[in-house]
Structure 1
Amino acid sequence: MPPYSPDQAHAANALDATIDRAAAALAAAQRPDGHWVFELEADATIPAEYILLRHYLSEPDDLPLEARIGRYLRRLQSPAHHGWSLFHDGGFDLSATVKAYYALKMIGDDPAAPHMARARAAVLAAGGAAAANVFTRIQLALYAAGPWSAVPTMPPELIFAPRWFPFSLSRTSYWSRTVVVPLLVLATLRPVARNPRGVRVDELYTGSRVRATTRAADTRALWRTGFGLLDRALKAGDGWWPRRRRAAAIAACRDWVLARLNGLDGLGAIYPAMANSVMMLDALGFPPEHPARAAARESVERLLVHRADETYCQPCVSPVWDTALAAHAMLEAGEEQAADAALDWLRPRQVLDVEGDWAGQKPDVRPGGWAFQYRNDHYPDLDDTAVVVMAMDRAKDRRGAADGGAIARGVEWTVGLQSRNGGWGAFDADNDHHYLNNLPFADHGALLDPPTADVSARVVSMLAQLGERDGPRMAAALAYLAQEQEADGSWFGRWGVNHVYGTWSVLCALNAAGLTGADPMVAKAVAWLRAIQNPDGGWGESCDSYDLGRTGHAPAPATASQTAWALLGLMAAGEAGSEAVARGIDWLVRHQAADGLWGQEHHTGGGFPRVFYLRYHGYPKYFPLWALARWRNLQRGNEGRVAWGM
């Protein structure tokens, strides 16, 4: 690719052609009912767990399906470290490698095969399967391939703990609750998978007793010691629980899951919770044909993505998120018909009559949010809601009062979940009991849903776009964002990788709230984005930026989505005429593929920092179009199409 030259100015017709091709390609991907949904890919762990689930349930062999998943898993094995990573071109991850190895052995890969031998050597060199994280050790224990003694004890009686109790499940995040509650039953009943092929992985153990090393950034030695002693006490007294109380606790866990089973969209609409619910129902004696179990099992099946010669399992689906963001891109590009169809699809998916788990903390707030998935009524989120409301607000002059009621309820619910520190979390208010990240069960460091800069910025953008630029809640939110700015000028991106994502989000919010490039906070962020621009004009950042040292930006090759985020952030800060923006626009134009879109293998979505990352296949499809169209609108002074909320 030739280096950027200032002489390569973008002729209007060339830019128009780029935008037109991208808009046409995005329109072609829109479903007949108006929504978009793109693949959402994680790493090897979810497809591996899907294989293990089938064998846990002793389901009929599906050799062609196993062959396709096997090809997918083998393709992801690293030629450098011989294991599996958590993201594209990432480093070795022990837990992902143990699961992938086990799944491949389960479907018939010979342990003596070169790829298996190399993976096994890498696992043993890292301490063996005993050093894997808690959820991997649970998977192994369910197959009698690892000891239950290596799993922290969590008695099902926790389901009875009131909200004020220090270890109440209501103090954890939604994803933790939905994953853990069925696990409480499984860890108590300790069923062993039927595993008809009798596959074990004894060869992955070194014989030494070791501890998993994944830890949250905010762990404290005193808390860890205290929780460790508590776990020992629970193990010692595990057989002393009153039988009636234990039976009542298991029944309460069962009822909790059944009340939130969510039909064919599954418990929490996320794979780990969905799979755990199926195994729990199986352990409790629900036959395969029972409506609840059948629906739970089908919800898992709906996550599969079939390609010509491969299959993998998604962690969840993202239709509301994809549709709302694609609608913004189409509005920016002037494709109003496609955007209107998307908004018509989104409006009835607002959750108006279910008080989800969030109501435990905010009982006086009426429902009114949108979920990430097709249906997840107990768990709408603030991020999706703000993005949907902003898209509807952008179209209100043309659509009249069609979306007015939805906008009002969305705002009411969102502002009702503001946390005490002025920010917003993704699903709950004040879900910031950080001491819980020291629980032995929480070695992944993702037990909580505290306020974050990116979600808070989206809500600030929404409020400011709707005309609220002052008042106590806006002042508190802006103070929170100022406090969260990193020393280098960036913001941490909890749900996107990482500082580029967070900085884009906050710059858009600050602009919407009336802060200009003269503000020191904005100027510092602009300087940071300029400083990290790659020589080729694009922006990139590796998932390694989430390491425990919080070292800031981790350089990486430019990606289409991260380049678009940086551009949108800079343009929000008044930098549309800068050389940095011109070079970034040039990068996007030069990297557009023949189909009008952009390719991107890198993971630029954050699931759980340091543990789980996401490759949104939609990100390189709508974010570049959005950035290019916004730049064109600014160049032409077409302010009517520019929404500064995002």
Structure 2
Amino acid sequence: MAVNGSALSETLLSREELDRVVSTAQAALGKRQQKDGHWVYELEADATIPSEYVLLEHYLDRIDDPLQQKIAAYLRRTQSEDHGGWALYHNGKFDLSASVKAYFALKATGEDINAPHMRRAREAILDHGGAERSNVFCRCQLALFGEVPWHATPVMPIELMLLPRKAFFSVWNMSYWSRTVIAPLLVLAALKPKAINPRGIHVQELFVTKPDAVKDWIRGPYRSAWGRMFKGLDTVLRPLIPLIPAKTHQKAIKATIDFIEPRLNGEDGLGAIYPAMANVVMMYRALGVPDTDPRAVTAWKAVQKLLVIKEDEAYCQPCVSPIWDTGLSGHAMLEAASGPQGIAPEETLAELRKASAWLREKQILTVKGDWAINKPDLAPGGWAFQYGNDHYPDVDDTAVVGMLLHREGDPANAEALERARQWIIGMQSTNGGWGAFDIDNDKEILNHIPFSDHGALLDPPTADVTARCISFLKQLGHVEDQPVIDRAIAYLRAEQEEDGSWFGRWGTNYIYGTWSVLCAFNVAGVSHDDPSVVRAVEWLRSVQREDGGWGEGCETYEGAAHGVYSESLPSQTAWAALGLMAAGRRDDPAVGKAMTWLASQQDEHGEWHEDPYNAVGFPKVFYLRYHGYKQFFPLMALARYRNLESSNSRRVAFGF
């Protein structure tokens, strides 16, 4: 519902109250800064990864019972009261695969399967077709425990690792996360190990049809005719796989290990993401590598570093986000410290210089990562998302960090900024946009192979990442970069939705995408009266909630109405208001009401709270909850609103 501007004048914050809200939020965020200058918040996914961690301990016979009981408490708490299973996000619909894994994990921790919560979960799983209809990654997990045969999974011969880059099915045509997860999984599929499972935990009660009676494990639903064609190819290949010469098979296993081991990444782990890291741990066990081997020791430590252990419960994160959190927190702190004249107090600058120095040390300069397969002559200069992930720097993080270093202004940042600038320019895809980790990683047909039932095998350009790259390059102000920026703006214009919004690939969702693009258009000099900007502004106004906030749920990745949710949320309200201010609408009554709503939601410690998930790993499959979003984005929006009060142009001077 559009907000009635005439009713808003009485709701505007006084300058005194605005200053108080900003200062208390700034102090709260400042307390979260680590001694070395960085920020890091929890990064939570759904029940899948905590469940997989429980099962990993049983696979290895390295069971930590007190920890498992805490994870069991987390799983019980996140079980849905409505449908009895587990969802992929807060108050979401039943998800079969997440529910199978959570039930399996709870049973492994000793839960009585006749307890009411276990009975409800089991009934819901059976009502939805049983474990035999779970997704590929779930069936792989079940195969590792002998619950289903390995032919329940799609044909993915390890010989794929021998294919050259130009081959259609080459792993180099897949996203970074797919490569790092698939490589050790291919070794597991080739060796077909079985979990130690010392307590003999099995879940045959979750199958409608017993596994040995299932005749067709891969039966859609198919997203296109390509899916049916690849299903036929899977059927043809199955009897041929055993005919591959043993010598070739061993050569492929060696090639896979040779791919993995240079990328093991110390205690940050392969790809610095849980599924790849857990697969490496199981791979080493399957290869007969002793647990005392330094490689196995380090791989196990990497997984355990993802655990969040609290007094009463625990869970496992999919990865950690310190670079992202530090970049965004730094922007919020700098905005809060900047008065109308744009001058930050010296004590705040000192803390931000610590953050900048920490970030400079994290810039990846010595490793040409997988991105160099397509750009071998491009010098490194990006930042990863995690503490360490040198083979996989992230374009989005690089742009955010670059904007912070430029805005913070320390001359020591100059060399890092130039390296980042050159790397970002070199990572632009052919269509003018940017993906997160790779260039032109857009062979969409691959998303229709049976293994890719999650539909996220690729890393194509997206509007939100592209917007950040425009913002970074334009903020730096190199005239010679204008052709690069022009191609990117053309890409964004083509990506605008009919209702005026933009899809948010990495944040929830159309509000996030629209905010990102409006920021880019603003710093790039696109007129605030440009038709694309006007359409976006009107769309944001149209979905503002009656209380003055905005909200959007992960349901919008599954076909729900854009920008709509059952409640207002601090992060989405901040994005929408920042987007409107970037479009020159600082004095729009909708923005004033949003500021009042944000102020009303701040607690006595200067912080905000929200339970819904606010980001996405893979739409429809894997969602994320950044615990920091509800803190630094509202601060950024409120401080921006205050700082634009005395601006004659009402134009935001920075790219973020």
TM-score normalized by the length of structure 2:
0.95
Deviations 1:584-616 (A, max 9, x none): 101100000111010111100111111111100
Contact 1:328/1:339 (8 A) holds in 2: no
Map Cα deviations across residues 285-337 of structure 1 (whole Å, 9 max, x no partner): 11101111110110000000011100100000000000000000011011323
- CA displacement at 1:220 relative to structure 2: 2.1
Of 484, 487, 490, which aligns to 2:495? 484
Q: Tell me, what secondary structure is at the counterpart of 1:229? A: helix
DSSP 3-state at the match of 1:123: helix
- Residue 56 of structure 1 corresponds to 59
Aligned to 1:144: 146
Taking the aligned partners of 2:283 and 2:311, their CA distance within structure 1 comes to 33
The separation in 2 between residues aligned to 1:213 and 1:555, in whole angstroms, is 33
Alignment partners' CA distance in 2, 1:333 and 1:149 = 57
Listed one character per residue, the Cα deviations across residues 142-182 of structure 1 (whole Å, up to 9, x for unaligned) are 00011211100111111111111010000000000000000
Aligned equivalent of 1:263: 266
One-letter amino acid of the counterpart of residue 385, structure 2: F
Cα deviation, residue 215, structure 1: 6.7
1:626 — aligned with what? 636
CA contact under 8 A between 1:130 and 1:212: conserved in structure 2? no
Which AA in structure 2 matches 1:390?
Answer: M
Which of 518, 531, 536 does residue 520 from structure 1 map onto? 531
- The residue aligned with 2:112 is 110
Matched, 1:356 2:360: no
In 2, are the aligned partners of 1:133 and 1:214 still within 8 Å (CA)? no
- Asked if structure 1 preserves the Cα contact closer than 8 Å seen for 2:582 and 2:652, the reply is no
Do the aligned partners of 1:468 and 1:474 also contact (CA within 8 Å) in 2?
A: no
1:48–1:639 distance in 2 versus 1, CA, 3 Å: farther
The within-5 A match list for 1:266-281 is 266-281=269-284
Matched residue type, 1:608: F
CA distance in 2, matches of 1:640, 1:152: 56
Structure 1 contact 39–616 (Cα < 8 Å) conserved:
yes
Distance (whole Å) between structure 2 residues aligned to residue 207 and residue 391 of structure 1: 56
Structure-1 residue corresponding to 2:204: 202
Pair 1:404-2:404 in alignment: no
- Say if 1:324 and 1:388, in contact at 8 Å, map to a contact too: yes
Aligned to 1:340: 353
In structure 2, the residue corresponding to 1:614 is in which secondary structure? strand
Report the CA distance shift for 1:56/1:643 in structure 2 as closer, same or farther (over 3 A): farther
Partner of 1:220: 224
1:551 is displaced (CA, Å) by 5.2
2:451 to 421, 433, 441: 441
Matched, 1:497 2:501: no
CA distance in 2, matches of 1:21, 1:212: 55
Instruction: Provide the residue aligned with 1:306 in structure 2.
Output: 309
Does structure 2 conserve the Cα–Cα contact (< 8 Å) formed by 1:40 and 1:316? yes
> Hey, what's the Cα distance between the residues in 2 that align with 1:236 and 1:476?
48
Is contact 1:132–1:212 with CA below 8 Å preserved after alignment?
A: no
CA distance in 1, matches of 2:187, 2:648: 59
Q: Distance in 2 between matches of 1:161 and 1:551?
A: 42
Q: Whole-Å Cα distance in 2 between the matches of residues 9 and 101 of structure 1?
A: 49
Aligned to 2:76: 74
Alpha carbon RMSD of aligned pairs, Å? Answer: 1.7
1:231 to 228, 231, 234: 234
- One-letter amino acid of the structure 1 residue matched with residue 575 of structure 2: W
Post-superposition offset of 1:126? 0.3
In structure 2, what is the Cα distance between the partners aligned to 1:205 and 1:235? 24
Hey, what's the Cα distance between the residues in 1 that align with 2:209 and 2:437?
A: 42
The 5-angstrom pairing of residues 525-544 of structure 1 reads 525-544=536-555
Aligned to 2:11, what secondary structure does the other structure show?
coil
Letter in 1 for 2:438: D
Judged with a 3 Å threshold, the aligned counterparts in structure 2 of structure 1 residues 550 and 463 are, in CA distance, closer, same or farther, namely: farther
Structure 2 CA distance for aligned equivalents of residues 593 and 131 of structure 1: 45
Distance 2:220 2:502 in 1: 24
Shift of 1:276: 0.4
**Cα distance, 1:515 vs. partner?**
1.0
Q: Which residue of structure 2 aligns with residue 574 of structure 1?
A: 584
**3-state SS in 2 of match to 1:615:** strand
1:324-362 C-alpha deviation (Å, 9 max, x unpaired): 000000110113232222111100100011010000011
Residues 265 and 643 of structure 1: CA distance in aligned 2, closer, same or farther (over 3 Å):
farther
Q: CA deviation at 1:224?
A: 1.4
- SS of 1:584 mapped into structure 2: helix
Measure, in 1, the Cα distance between the counterparts of 2:114 and 2:648.
64
Output the amino acid matched with 2:532.
M
Rounded Cα–Cα distance in structure 2 between residues aligned with 1:558 and 1:52: 37
Say which SS state the counterpart of residue 116 (structure 1) adopts: helix
CA contact (8 A) 2:126 2:206 kept: yes
The separation in 2 between residues aligned to 1:447 and 1:214, in whole angstroms, is 17
1:297 to 2:300 alignment:
yes
Q: Does 1:595 align with 2:597?
A: no
Equivalence for 1:610: 620
Offset of 1:522 from its aligned partner? Answer: 0.2
Alpha-carbon distance in 2 for matches of 1:10, 1:617: 27
- Counterpart residue identity of residue 373, structure 2: G
Structure 1 residues 27-176: aligned runs within 5 Å: 27-59=30-62, 61-176=63-178
C-alpha deviation, 1:405, in angstroms: 0.2
Give SS of 2:124's match. Answer: helix
Shift of 1:238: 1.9
1:241 paired with 2:244, answer yes
**2-structure distance, mates of 1:295, 1:638:** 56
Give TM-score scaled by structure 1 length: 0.96
Residue type of the alignment partner of 1:478: I
Q: Which residue of 2 aligns with 1:25?
A: 28
Question: Is contact 1:545–1:552 with CA below 8 Å preserved after alignment?
Answer: yes
Give the Cα–Cα distance (whole angstroms) in 1 for the partners of residues 221 and 614 of structure 2: 22
Equivalence map 1:429-468=2 (5 Å): 429-468=439-478
Work out the CA distance in 2 between the residues paired with 1:468 and 1:522.
24
> Is contact 1:330-1:336 (8 Å) kept?
no
Post-superposition shift, 1:62?
2.0
Shift of 1:234: 2.2
Q: Which string of whole-angstrom CA distances, capped at 9 and with x for unpartnered residues, describes residues 570-594 of structure 1? A: 0000010011000110110000011
User: Does 2:335 match 1:323?
Assistant: no
Equivalents in 1 of 2:594, 2:220: separation in Å? 37
Flag the 1:393–1:557 CA change in 2: closer, same or farther, 3 A.
same
Three-state SS of the structure 1 residue aligned to 2:13 is coil
Report the CA distance between 1:214 and its aligned residue.
Answer: 7.8
2:342 aligned partner: none
Q: Secondary structure at the match of 1:237?
A: helix
C-alpha contact 1:37 1:323 (8 A) present in aligned 2:
yes
Partner-residue secondary structure (3-state), 1:305: strand
**Aligned mates of 2:651, 2:366 — CA distance in 1:** 34
2:389 is equivalent to residue 387 of structure 1: no
Contact persistence 2:218–2:231 (CA under 8 A): no
Name the stretch that deviates more: 593-602 or 260-269: 593-602
> Aligned in 2, Cα 1:211/1:516: closer, same or farther, shift over 3 Å?
farther
Residues of 1 paired with 2:181 and 2:492: CA distance? Answer: 31
Mapped to 2, the partners of 1:556 and 1:458 lie a distance apart of 29
| Distance in 2, Cα, partners of 1:360 & 1:215 | 34
Choose the corresponding residue for 2:484, options 443, 464, 473: 473
Quote how far apart the aligned CAs of 1:640 are: 12
Checking the alignment, whether the CA contact within 8 Å between 1:332 and 1:642 is kept in structure 2 is: no
Say if 1:214 and 1:235 are closer, same or farther in 2 by CA, change over 3 A: closer
1:220 partner letter? S
Superposition deviation, residue 250 in structure 1: 0.6
Q: Which amino acid aligns with 1:363?
A: P
| Counterparts in 2 of 1:215 and 1:23: CA distance versus 1, 3 Å | farther
Write out per-residue CA displacement over residues 469-499 of structure 1, whole angstroms, 9 at most, x where no aligned residue: 7732222111100000000000000000000
Q: CA deviation at 1:273?
A: 0.3
Cα separation, partners in 2 of 1:16 and 1:553, compared to 1, 3 Å: closer
Alpha-carbon distance in 2 for matches of 1:212, 1:583: 51
Compute the displacement of 1:226 (Å): 2.2
